[in-house]
């Protein structure tokens, strides 16, 4: 609760200790650096919960924070408070509290009567403690900005929260919802949003915990504390269920930052930090210069950079982008008003200040594993991710799934001098609007498909000889074709796409217009290359990527690709061998079981069983991210910096930073081969 309201409530609630807290006002929130520029502060935390940052990192962070505030300083945010509309509105209004000319209006907007105060929220003093996206912002509004709110409003928030958490609000019968039907959360008859996608789950459980702890409802506090510790324990054993989502990863950071900043219980504080360390480390692997690379669960086909919440939120911590203008998500306020900073090794990984090139093998859990606390879950997806000097390519053995899925199984991210990074999307399907994932739509993936990858090489086949294929490429791309091979030049990265049982890839004007034109264009200014399968059972592509560090020049790369040997004589059996001129050869043998795909690298078959023993590991040597499946351990290294965290079976957390030589052995780092 706000510090002022804590004083008023102390006599009633016996929260005497809290009544002595100093005011947390605007003077404490915002300071000035030596040049007079604003510096935004999180509430103080103990040193043993802090990842120490170099002064240079903090100066860069504050500059990005000022960009966020400046981007929200033109006019007061307006919008409805119906259901979860505050998911954007409250974030922008909280940011505008830091803008002198907008502050009064922003604070008034944050305290405006909720659209459903007299019905949905009548039992909680008219305060919306239902919708998860609203809850995330309500928590920061109350704990961080609370001393700037009107006294009566702060008291209402406290009283409403006390009623809300006197019992577990999840599925507690609700007077307004009991007779409603339909698919929406209001038809589930609960005092709090029942949806349990990972980001919404985290918004709910962190908010219920914090408000129960704040208002002295101990039974609910203890129940949700155990839930949070068990979630942390599960996260460190199987990884994120909603893994590497370009659309939702950032939305999970907000509620975790709330828990980190405002929990009083030391065990919960440490668990929150552990979760944030994991989410920022996982994000750092896929983040690059303002972009976010696949594969990923819940991929919503955003162009990059700054497509979806992941890149937008992680940019506040990682930066490393030449762009001054961004696509804001409104969750950035949680980062710039928090005391949390990621470990130095995580920042360096995000900025790719690591030994390049490197191949990272990863295993991903079933979607509901973490939210259902399934710490013994087994991997669902097996990923290969190659980080070059100018690009990243990531694939899943299963390819991009058909049916009701939002998983993306193939993606390439490249450096681009103007935008920082760009994404190249592709899919065996007819619709370029869904070139990353089918996004729960039927017919967007033409057939089951599989990908075998070895560093910068990949063979991708669909089990449908007539499958259409589309590639969506950024406008800076130079396209050429020789001997049937399509070459893409994007800044310093060169991609060769060799048809396997398809027509050659050519620009499709109709499909290009579909995705690039109009106010709601999915991929503005991008264009589409399309081909169609000509086989009976299988068709696909072989992909090779080059850069100056590997091939010196584009001409040398093209010459090497055209000299490479491709054996597709058994394509109709799902067998292809691609031999590059540098001696690498990649063999693909189709298997209906993606965990038994024949991925032959220089004559040795990749051991998927060994691969699945790790959350993250390297092939043939250490990777910048490491953790054994089920071990409860996360290790990150970048050059000589290292970070190690462990969560034991009870949810207790230990972590340390230091040099790579000190920590690597303790973390038990090993490679899959």
More reliable by pLDDT, 381 or 185: 381
pLDDT at 364 over 50: yes
Q: Which residues of 406-443 are buried (b: 16+ CB within 10 A; e: fewer)?
A: bbbbbbbbbbbeebbbbbbbbbbbbbbbbbbbbbebee
Please name the residue that has the structure tokens 């005092």.
Answer: 191
Contacts of 513 (CB under 8 A, 6+ apart): none
231 neighbors 278 (Cβ within 8 angstroms): no
Tens of pLDDT, residues 56-87: 999 999 999 999 999 999 999 999 999 999 99
265 neighbors 218 (Cβ within 8 angstroms): no
Distance CA 645, CA 33 (A): 33
Nearest to 283 by CA among 371, 342, 361, 366: 342
CB neighbours (10 Å) of residue 116? Answer: 18
Nearest to 560 by CA among 457, 461, 478: 457
Handedness of CA 76, 79, 81, 83 (dihedral sign): negative
265 neighbors 249 (Cβ within 8 angstroms): no
Pairing of strands 565-567, 575-579: antiparallel
The pTM of the full predicted model, rounded to 2 decimals, is: 0.96
Name the band, by pLDDT with cuts 50, 70 and 90, for residue 620: confident
Pairing of strands 468-473, 420-427: antiparallel
Please name the residue that has the structure tokens 């990353």.
Answer: 436
170 neighbors 194 (Cβ within 8 angstroms): yes
Tens of pLDDT, residues 39-48: 999 999 999 9
What the block records as the tokens of 671 is 């490679």
Nearest to 457 by CA among 389, 555, 506, 384: 384
HSE at residue 121, side-chain half, CA atoms within 13 A, is 25
Distance CA 296, CA 395 (A): 9
pLDDT at 449 over 70: yes
- Look at residue 669 in the predicted model and tell me its pLDDT: 84
DSSP string, 567-623: E-TTGGGTEEEEE-TTS-EEEEE--SSGGG-EEEETTEE--HHHHTTEEEEESSS--
Percent of the chain with pLDDT over 70: 97
- Look at residue 18 in the predicted model and tell me its pLDDT: 38
Q: Which H or E run includes 417?
A: none
HSE at residue 504, side-chain half, CA atoms within 13 A, is 11
- Look at residue 666 in the predicted model and tell me its pLDDT: 78
56: three-class secondary structure by DSSP: helix
Across all residues in the chain, what is the average pLDDT?
94
- Look at residue 9 in the predicted model and tell me its pLDDT: 42
CA–CA distances in Å: residue 461 to residues 544, 591, 595? 15, 11, 15
Distance CA 395, CA 414 (A): 15
Distance CA 145, CA 449 (A): 50
More reliable by pLDDT, 21 or 576: 576
- Look at residue 245 in the predicted model and tell me its pLDDT: 98
- Look at residue 10 in the predicted model and tell me its pLDDT: 37
Q: Which residues are 647's β-sheet partners?
A: 653
Contacts of 237 (CB under 8 A, 6+ apart): 375, 376, 629, 630, 631, 632
HSE at residue 242, side-chain half, CA atoms within 13 A, is 23
Percent of the chain with pLDDT over 90: 89
Output DSSP code: residue 7.
H
Tens of pLDDT, residues 89-145: 999 999 999 999 999 999 999 999 999 999 999 999 999 999 999 999 999 999 999
What the block records as the tokens of 341 is 């900073």
Main-chain phi, psi angles of 21, to 5 degrees:
-70, 145
Please name the residue that has the structure tokens 């043998």.
Answer: 589
The three-point CA angle 273-274-279 to 5° equals 95
Contacts of 36 (CB under 8 A, 6+ apart): none
341 neighbors 53 (Cβ within 8 angstroms): yes
Contacts of 179 (CB under 8 A, 6+ apart): none
CA–CA distances in Å: residue 22 to residues 44, 74, 217, 262, 339? 12, 32, 24, 15, 18
- Look at residue 51 in the predicted model and tell me its pLDDT: 96
Contacts of 40 (CB under 8 A, 6+ apart): 29, 30, 62, 65, 69, 98, 336, 337
Distance CA 318, CA 555 (A): 34
pLDDT at 5 over 80: no
Tens of pLDDT, residues 102-117: 999 999 999 999 999 9
Distance CA 434, CA 103 (A): 41
Handedness of CA 357, 673, 626, 371 (dihedral sign): positive
383 neighbors 396 (Cβ within 8 angstroms): yes
What the block records as the tokens of 272 is 């929150």
145 neighbors 177 (Cβ within 8 angstroms): no
What the block records as the tokens of 8 is 């008023």
DSSP string, 313-328: HHHHHH-----S----
Name the band, by pLDDT with cuts 50, 70 and 90, for residue 661: confident
337 neighbors 30 (Cβ within 8 angstroms): no
- Look at residue 673 in the predicted model and tell me its pLDDT: 73
Peptide bond into 357 cis (omega under 30): yes
CA–CA distances in Å: residue 274 to residues 51, 281, 341? 11, 11, 12
Mean predicted confidence (pLDDT) in 631-648 = 95
Distance CA 346, CA 637 (A): 8
Name the band, by pLDDT with cuts 50, 70 and 90, for residue 400: very high
Please name the residue that has the structure tokens 């057939």.
Answer: 447
CA–CA distances in Å: residue 122 to residues 130, 141, 174, 411? 11, 20, 10, 48
Written in H, E and C, the secondary structure of 80-134 is CCCCCCHHHHHHHHHHHCCCCCCHHHHHHHHCCCCCCCCCCCHHHCCCCCCCHHH
CA–CA distances in Å: residue 268 to residues 177, 225, 255, 297? 32, 7, 13, 27
CA–CA distances in Å: residue 625 to residues 282, 345, 520, 614? 8, 10, 37, 11
Name the band, by pLDDT with cuts 50, 70 and 90, for residue 628: very high
Domain spanning 27-346, CATH architecture: Alpha/alpha barrel (1.50)
- Domain positions in the chain are 27-346, 380-611
pLDDT at 15 over 70: no
- Look at residue 349 in the predicted model and tell me its pLDDT: 98
Tens of pLDDT, residues 490-520: 999 999 999 999 999 999 999 999 999 999 9
């Amino acid at each position: 609760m706000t510090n002022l309201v804590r004083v008023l409530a102390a006599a009633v609630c016996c929260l005497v200790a809290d009544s002595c807290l100093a005011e947390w006002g605007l003077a404490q929130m915002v300071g000035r650096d030596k040049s007079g520029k604003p510096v935004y502060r999180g509430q103080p935390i103990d040193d043993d919960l802090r990842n120490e940052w170099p002064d240079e990192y903090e100066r860069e962070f504050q500059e990005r924070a000022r960009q966020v505030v400046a981007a929200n300083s033109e006019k007061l945010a307006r919008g409805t408070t119906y259901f979860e509309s505050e998911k954007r509105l409250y974030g922008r209004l909280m940011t505008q509290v830091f803008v002198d000319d907008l502050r009064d209006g922003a604070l008034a907007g944050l305290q405006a009567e909720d659209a459903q105060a007299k019905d949905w929220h009548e039992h909680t003093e008219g305060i919306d403690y239902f919708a998860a996206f609203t809850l995330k912002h309500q928590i920061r509004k109350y704990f961080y900005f609370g001393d700037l709110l009107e006294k009566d409003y702060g008291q209402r928030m406290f009283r409403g929260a006390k009623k809300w958490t006197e019992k577990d609000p999840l599925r507690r019968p609700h007077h307004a919802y009991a007779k409603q039907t339909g698919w929406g959360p209001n038809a589930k008859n609960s005092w709090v949003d029942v949806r349990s996608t990972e980001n919404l789950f985290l918004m709910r459980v962190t908010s219920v915990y914090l408000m129960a702890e704040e208002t002295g409802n101990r039974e609910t506090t203890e129940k949700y504390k155990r839930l949070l510790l068990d979630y942390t324990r599960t996260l460190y054993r199987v990884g994120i269920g909603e893994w590497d989502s370009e659309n939702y990863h950032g939305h999970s950071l907000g509620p975790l930052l709330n828990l980190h900043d405002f929990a009083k219980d030391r065990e919960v504080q440490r668990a929150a930090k552990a979760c944030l360390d994991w989410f920022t480390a996982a994000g750092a692997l896929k983040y690059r210069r303002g972009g976010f690379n696949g594969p990923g669960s819940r991929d919503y086909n955003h162009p990059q950079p700054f497509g979806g919440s992941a890149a937008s939120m992680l940019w506040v911590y990682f930066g490393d982008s030449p762009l001054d203008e961004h696509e804001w998500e409104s969750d950035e306020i949680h980062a710039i008003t928090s005391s949390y900073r990621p470990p130095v090794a995580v920042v360096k990984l995000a900025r790719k200040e690591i030994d390049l090139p490197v191949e990272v093998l990863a295993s991903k859990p079933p979607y509901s594993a973490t939210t259902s606390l399934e710490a013994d879950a087994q991997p669902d997806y097996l990923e290969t991710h190659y980080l070059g000097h100018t690009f990243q390519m990531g694939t899943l053995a299963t390819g991009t799934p058909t049916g009701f899925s939002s998983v993306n199984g193939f993606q390439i991210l490249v450096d681009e001098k103007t935008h920082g990074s760009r994404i190249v999307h592709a899919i065996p399907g007819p619709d370029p609007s869904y070139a990353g994932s089918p996004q729960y739509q039927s017919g967007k993936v033409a057939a089951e498909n599989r990908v075998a990858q070895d560093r910068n090489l990949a063979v991708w086949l669909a089990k449908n000889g007539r499958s259409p294929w589309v590639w969506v490429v950024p406008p800076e791309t130079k396209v050429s074709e020789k001997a049937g091979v399509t070459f893409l030049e994007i800044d310093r990265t060169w991609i060769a796409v060799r048809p396997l049982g398809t027509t050659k890839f050519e620009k499709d004007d109709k499909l290009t217009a579909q995705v690039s034109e109009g106010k709601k264009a999915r991929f503005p200014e991008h264009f589409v290359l399309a081909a169609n399968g000509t086989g009976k059972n299988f068709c696909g592509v072989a992909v090779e990527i080059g850069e100056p560090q590997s091939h010196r020049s584009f001409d040398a790369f093209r010459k090497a690709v055209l000299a490479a040997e491709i054996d597709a004589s058994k394509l109709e059996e799902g067998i292809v061998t691609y031999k590059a001129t540098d001696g690498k050869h990649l063999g693909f043998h189709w298997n209906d079981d993606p965990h038994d795909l024949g991925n032959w690298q220089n004559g040795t078959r990749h051991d998927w069983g060994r691969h699945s023993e790790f959350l993250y590991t390297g092939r043939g040597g250490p990777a910048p991210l490491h953790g054994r499946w089920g071990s409860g351990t996360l290790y990150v290294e970048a050059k000589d910096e290292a970070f190690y965290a462990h969560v034991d079976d009870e949810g207790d957390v230990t972590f340390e930073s230091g040099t790579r030589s000190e920590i690597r052995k303790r973390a038990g780092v090993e490679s899959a081969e």
